[in-house]
Amino acid sequence: MSLNNKTVLITGGTGSFGQKFVEVAIKKYKLKKLIIFSRDEYKQFLMKKKFKNRKEIRFFLGDIRDTDRLHRAFHNVEVVVHAAALKQVPALEYNPFEAVKTNILGAENIINRAIDNGVKKVIALSSDKAVNPINLYGATKLCADKLFVAGNSYSGDIQTKFSVVRYGNVLNSRGSVIPLFKEQKVKGVLSVTDERMTRFWITLERSVNFVLKCLDIMRGGEIFVPKMPSMKILDLARAIAPDCECKTIGIRPGEKLHEALIPKDESHNTLESKDMYVIRTPFQLHRTYRGHEKVKDGFRYSSDANKEWLTIKDLKNMLKERG
């Protein structure tokens, strides 16, 4: 789907993903309008300065918990990218109702207001933590994924399409372990939760381009998963601060040793191509996608059993490219 001459709105538009999305989208397309919807007026102020000469960019202050504000913001919008979420795992373990209000009830608000305003496509960002969740953040994202998939059954004659993109940790994003390691490097000691821990990694730019690709091929109801490399947390620490001591502090509340993006139980619904997986809902199993084939029963896409791995050298090169 070309976004040329389209009105696009991104929730959480002042976050790490949102800012990169804006940067890529205005270079790639001639947008009619790009609406930045977020609740942080200071970050909007900074973005206005950064993109001050872009007349197609609009800023809309609001919270996805506020259904009336969303209704106003979605007027004449054709495409919604939903990136707003509360996602700090330890904080949400101790503030559970806040996570529910934003990540679940906020998702419901997005769905209802998109249908009410005749939005054509909505794509929501998910997380590897939504697979077999053991923390509240993962549980709320799993619930949100289910809501967005089911939203296709609610749209009726309006025919608003809803799909989900699910990926792993974003390299150098705010709140990730990389900025933390860079801070700790100054003191000479890095805190590693568990030396066996592995994670999926993706760059901000690739995550944005993947979302744009999925907007093009989505038919509604799919969960799209990019193929991405894994890395051991210990190798990550050594890549950032090779001369520092690594101190094991133990797994924090709500953390796993390894993350999964596709569980075994979803293998019978999953298709694979060269660079991505598509998880179909049971009522979509008749659907085919060009260049995609069914994965084997029992397939599981997890960070510890991945075919592709980042080396210390790979990560150093990636960090250099992004400053």
| Residue 178 lies inside a defined structural domain of this protein | no
For residue 316, the model assigns a pLDDT of 79
Taking only the tens place, the pLDDT of each residue in 138-172 is 999 999 999 999 999 988 888 899 999 999 988 86
For residue 112, the model assigns a pLDDT of 97
Taking only the tens place, the pLDDT of each residue in 29-66 is 999 999 999 999 999 999 999 998 899 999 999 999 99
Task: Tell how far CA 215 is from the center of its chain.
Answer: 14
For residue 102, the model assigns a pLDDT of 98
Domain of residue 276, residue span: 7-170+202-227+264-295
CA dihedral 121, 127, 133, 136 (to 10 degrees): -90
For residue 25, the model assigns a pLDDT of 96
| Residue 74 lies inside a defined structural domain of this protein | yes
Which residue stretches of 158-296 are H helix? 177-185, 204-217, 233-240
Give the pLDDT band (50/70/90) at residue 307: very high
| Residue 175 lies inside a defined structural domain of this protein | no
CA–CA distance, 124 with 49 (Å, rounded to integer): 27
**What's the domain count of the chain?**
1
CATH number, domain containing residue 36? 3.40.50.720
Q: pLDDT at residue 216 above 50?
A: yes
Q: pLDDT at residue 303 above 90?
A: yes
CA–CA distance, 138 with 103 (Å, rounded to integer): 10
CA–CA distance, 39 with 75 (Å, rounded to integer): 18
Q: Which residues are catalytic?
A: 129
| Residue 286 lies inside a defined structural domain of this protein | yes
| Residue 304 lies inside a defined structural domain of this protein | no
| Residue 232 lies inside a defined structural domain of this protein | no
Percent of residues, the chain, with pLDDT higher than 70: 97
For residue 178, the model assigns a pLDDT of 80
Q: Are strands 161-165 and 121-125 parallel, antiparallel or unpaired?
A: parallel
